[in-house]
Amino acid sequence: MSKGPITLGVEQGLAQTSPLNASEFADVVVEVENHQSDTVVTEVDPASLQSSLPLIVASQHEEKEVTLIELEPPDTGKALRESVRSDDQTTGFWRVLRVAFFPLWFPIQVVVQATVVCVLWVWNLLRLVFFAFIMMPGFLSSLYFYLFSRQIQKGIKYGDASRNRLDVYRPKTAPSDSEKFPVLIFVTGGAWVLGHRAWGMFFGQRLIRAGIVVVSLDYRNFPFARNMENICTDVNTGISWVLRNLEDFQGDPGQVFLMGQSAGGMLTALTMLRQAERIANTTEHDTQTPALGSTPGTWDPRSLKGYIGVSGVYDCEAEKRYLKEERWIYNRVFSLMCRVNSRDATTELSPLHVLQHVAMSTDGKLPQFLPRAALIMHGGLDRAVPFTIAESFHRGLEEAGVSSELKLYFKGHTEPMLQDSYKNYDKLIEDLARFIKDDPTMTFTYLNILPQRLLQIASWISPF
């Protein structure tokens, strides 16, 4: 008897056959065809087979006594050849066409795909131009505020790398005022390639009216940062600096919040979870926990009162699949960003997967190393980051035992930061301010710069 897969048949009656060694094969399936009834398939445990012992196989009408015998393997090649021959007869005409036009098929396919992509990019570029034109009065107003307002301290250096700088937005106070304000550490988005601390002016200009200090971090973008790991290093360094220097801008150490928008949501969530993992590992092996935040790049998430994510990319794998279907050129750039040391690190860079890993490694103690509450905010009309990613991250936080609240809005991707800055009413900014101030009844003053109908048109035409 040969080793490996064998073909088994059955011989009815009590005819004797050479014995089968059950150790030579596994998971045998005996197929018995009774020409006078239906086919019966019986699963046989190899350990139960004994040499030359007959098996009783049940059919629909009676029981048959059969013995296993080894058969010659069927000529599958013959059947395949016959199938191909038959197929050739029915599809010969189309096969000739395929052979004749094959040299032209690939270049035609490339040209068609390139044409479609170019048309889509031109269309989205035109939409972006019209969007910027409609929003220009509001942009100019915010730019004037950013350049000339005395409530902003710009370009404060927090690290040694290029673009390791931040801006601080402070509420209006008297020079002698000793009042402490809640602090929001803000990391902007920009698809990891366009982020700049100046984008913080849209949130900063509104939140300082509510008595909140906003610190907007800058970081190196791709490709200058080379990969996501270096961008995360910048974010860690910036957060650490802010936690050590809160008193310089009247910040209240007991009311510090971390917020990330879009790509910044991914960066803040990822760095926060990594710091929590580091602290958990430290306290597990050392009862004397070292002072955190004393050196650049290390900080304690327990120093935060809350975490806020706005339109964040919390699952890089899901975002990559979405981009592959919707925007396949940028998907290739995103894949390059997620490579660390010449390997694909998409999973390691996904906050959702890191959350699940850290929750398991800490035996359900993860909430002890994170802020007390999380607020996840996302637009249901988001065309850049699907809202299902926010839902998954919110569920992951809850399953890990973290107090999390999910709020979905009738908005696109850019509305929370751009269009909403100029509205006469915005539910999202009110929810954000009330979460930070811990005051569900507080009132909010709006800039109300652009007509509301114009903002609706801008939201409709926005490519994001």
> If 0-12 CB within 10 Å is exposed, 13-18 middle and 19+ buried, where does residue 205 land?
buried
- The pLDDT, as a whole number, for residue 355 is 94
Q: Mean pLDDT for the chain?
A: 77
Other C-beta atoms closer than 10 Å to the C-beta of 407 total 16
Catalytic residue among 382, 394, 421, 459: 382
Angle at 414 between CA 318 and CA 156, to 5 degrees: 100
pLDDT at 224 (0 to 100): 86
Mean pLDDT, residues 425-446: 87
Instruction: Quote the DSSP letter at residue 247.
Output: G
Annotated catalytic residue 178? no
Residue 59 and residue 34 in contact, taking contact as beta carbons nearer than 8 Å? yes
* List 413, 420, 421, 426, catalytic entry: 413
Task: Identify whether residues 255 and 374 lie together within a single domain.
Answer: yes
| Domain span at 28 | 7-71
Q: Report if residue 338 sits inside a domain.
A: yes
pLDDT score, position 62: 44
Cβ atoms 408, 387 nearer than 8 A:
yes
Query: Do residues 298 and 202 share a domain?
Result: yes
Do 181 and 39 share a structural domain? no
- Pinpoint the alpha helices (H) of 48-184: 76-148
DSSP assignment, residue 287? S
pLDDT in tens, 130-163: 888 888 888 898 899 999 999 999 999 998 888 9
State whether 315 and 428 are in the same domain. yes
pLDDT score of 216: 96
Residues in a beta bridge with 197? none
Q: Is residue 30 assigned to a domain? A: yes
Q: 314 and 388 share a domain?
A: yes
Q: How many CB atoms lie within 10 A of CB 41?
A: 10
Report whether pLDDT(462) > 60.
yes
Task: Give percent of the chain above pLDDT 90.
Answer: 35
Question: For 62-99, what is each residue's pLDDT tens digit?
Answer: 444 444 444 445 554 554 445 545 545 545 666 666 66
The last residue of one of the domains, among 28, 51, 71, is 71
Q: Which pLDDT belongs to residue 14?
A: 35
Instruction: Say whether both 356 and 431 belong to one domain.
Output: yes
Calculate the CA 151 to chain-centre distance: 35
Helix (H) or strand (E) holding 422: none
The CATH number for 171's domain is: 3.40.50.1820
Mean pLDDT of the region 287-304: 65
Please state, in angstroms and rounded to a whole number, the distance separating the CA atoms of residues 397 and 406: 10
**HEC readout, 151-186:** CEEEEEECCCCCCCEEEEECCCCCCCCCCCEEEEEE
pLDDT band at 1 (very low <50, low <70, confident <90, very high): very low
Q: Is residue 125 part of a domain?
A: no
Rounded Cα gap, residues 301 and 370, in angstroms: 5
pTM over 0.75: no
User: How does residue 40 score in pLDDT terms, banded at 50, 70 and 90?
Assistant: very low
In the three-class reduction of DSSP (H, G, I as helix; E, B as strand; rest coil), residue 253 is classed as strand
Query: Is the same domain home to 205 and 64?
Result: no
Whether 102 maps to a domain, the answer reads no
Residue ending a domain, among 51, 71, 91, is 71
Integer-rounded Cα radius of gyration of the chain: 32
Give the number of domains in the chain: 2
Active-site entry in 142, 240, 262, 421: 262
How far apart CA 238 and CA 363 sit, in angstroms, is 30
Q: Based on the fold, state whether residues 59 and 178 are members of the same structural domain.
A: no
Residue 91 has a pLDDT of 56
Length of the chain counted residue by residue:
464
Q: Which residues contact 463 (CB under 8 A, 6 or more apart)?
A: 124, 127, 128, 131, 383
For residues 269 and 400, the answer to whether their CB atoms sit within 8 Å is no
Q: Are residues 288 and 436 located together in one domain of the fold?
A: yes
153 and 11 share one domain: no
pLDDT digits (tens, 9 = 90+) for 172-195: 875 556 789 999 999 999 888 888
Q: What is the mean pLDDT of residues 265-274?
A: 94
pLDDT one-digit tens code per residue, 305-349: 999 999 999 998 888 888 777 655 566 777 788 887 778 888 888
Percentage of the residues of the chain whose pLDDT score is greater than 70: 71
Q: Are residues 303 and 184 both part of a single domain?
A: yes
In a domain, residue 198? The reply is yes
130 assigned to some structural domain = no
Q: Determine, yes or no, domain membership for 232.
A: yes
Which of 71, 103, 121 is a domain's end point? Answer: 71
Chain centroid offset of residue 290 CA? 32
3-state secondary structure 183-204: EEEEECCCCCCCCCHHHHHHHH
Residue 382 falls in the annotated catalytic set: yes
| φ and ψ of 417, to 5 deg | -100, -40
Query: What does the pLDDT read at residue 45?
Result: 45
CA 390 to chain centre: 9
Q: What tokens does 312 get?
A: 């964040």
How much is the pLDDT for 361? 85
Q: Lowest mean pLDDT of 244-248, 326-330, 438-442, name the range.
A: 326-330
Q: What is the pLDDT of residue 57?
A: 39
pLDDT of residue 63: 43
Return the pLDDT at 261. 95
Question: At 296, is the pLDDT very low, low, confident or very high (cuts 50, 70, 90)?
Answer: low
Sign of CA dihedral 348, 354, 356, 359: positive
Q: Supply 96's token pair.
A: 């000739």
pLDDT per residue over 375-428, tens digit each?
A: 999 999 888 899 999 999 999 999 999 999 999 999 988 888 888 888 888 889
Number of Cβ within 10 Å of residue 424's Cβ equals: 12
Q: pLDDT category, 431, cuts 50, 70, 90?
A: very high
Q: Is residue 2 domain-resident? A: no
Mark whether 262 is an active-site residue: yes
